[in-house]
Amino acid sequence: MKLHLVGCSHRSASLDMRERLVFTPDQTTAALAAFRATYPAVEAVLLSTCNRIELYIATQDAAGCPTHAELIRFLAAFHGLDDRDVSGHMYQLADIDAVRHLFLVAASLDSMVVGEPQILSQVKQAFAVALEQQVTGPVTHLAFEAANRVAKRVATETEISRRRVSIPSIAVGDFAKQLFETFHDKRALLLGAGEMGEETLRYLRDEGAQQIVVLTRQNERAEVLAQRLSAAADAWEHLDARLAWADLVISVTSSREPIVTAARFQSIHRQRSERVLFVLDLAVPRDFDPAIAQFGNVYLYSLDDLQLACERNRRAREQEWPKAQRIVEEEASRFAADIQHRVTGRTIQRLKHHADALQREELRRLFNKLGPLDARTREEIERSFERLVNKFLHPPLESLRDEASRGSPQRLLDALRHLFQIDD
As annotated, the active-site residues are 50
Cβ contact 272:249 at 8 Å = no
Rg (CA), the chain: 31
Q: What is the DSSP letter of 218?
A: S
CA-to-CA distance for 352 and 211, rounded, in angstroms? 69
Beta carbons within 8 Å of 398's beta carbon, 6+ residues apart: none
3-class state of residue 72 by DSSP? helix
- Amino acid occupying residue 125: Q
Cβ contact 241:270 at 8 Å = no
- Amino acid occupying residue 128: A
Q: Which H or E run contains 407? A: none
CA-to-CA distance for 96 and 332, rounded, in angstroms? 7
- CA within 13 Å, CB half, 14: 6
| Cis amide leading into 285 (omega within 30) | yes
**Buried b or exposed e, range 110-140, using 16+ CB within 10 angstroms:** bbebbbbeebbebbeebbebbeebebbbebb
CA-to-CA distance for 365 and 368, rounded, in angstroms? 5
